[in-house]
Structure 1
Amino acid sequence: MSDEPPTPPANLPTEIVNTLNESTPEDLRDVATYAKALAEHKERKARLEEEVDQVEERPDDLPDDVPTKATITIKEINDNRYYYWQWREGEKIRSQYKGPVNTDE
């Protein structure tokens, strides 16, 4: 390791550099741990906000008690086919009847 102190990033504000230069090694390690955790938190928050922005609008035929994330699936019962809304709630898969599959389509 060099005897010279490291060069701070050019975009780091002077007041932060001065505070860090005056800090003990223990405080610097605590700051580094906190800064890493804070960066991860802010990145996660930004990802979640981006995902919320990308959520599609609620379909007109989606019942009020069915979440927006539900998808349509086809189930066959006694040789008849039916549409169901389907979504996950924790460990369980939930379904709600939508209507018969129109065989004329």
Structure 2
Amino acid sequence: MSSDDPMLAVEATAGDVVLISVRGSLDGWSGCDGLARAAQGEAKRTVVDSSGLTFADSAALHALLHGRRKHTATGMPLVLAGPLHTTVHRLFEITGTREASRFVDSVEQARTC
């Protein structure tokens, strides 16, 4: 799995984990396809490293929620790793979607939770 998006890096890591690193400002992000493909792969979990993400809009939120639904349907965990930037954390809080996803403080925690 790979990406041509400079804000997104996708890699398979040891332990059957797909690590998707996002950074910068995700406004108008269409990452739904990448997250959905990760749910259908051979890995045992997908980790989204959100620690470098400074801003996300409703399109980014939609991509994450769509990816979560695809992962739930296949029984594969999707974990968002932080720490989250204040503006990103606020997006989840004000939209009431914080409880819809699994959040942990670091990629290391996400690999094993």
Q: Relative contact order (C-alpha < 8 Å, sep 6+): which is higher?
A: 2
Please give the TM-score of this superposition, normalised by the length of structure 1: 0.20
Structure with max Cα Rg: 1
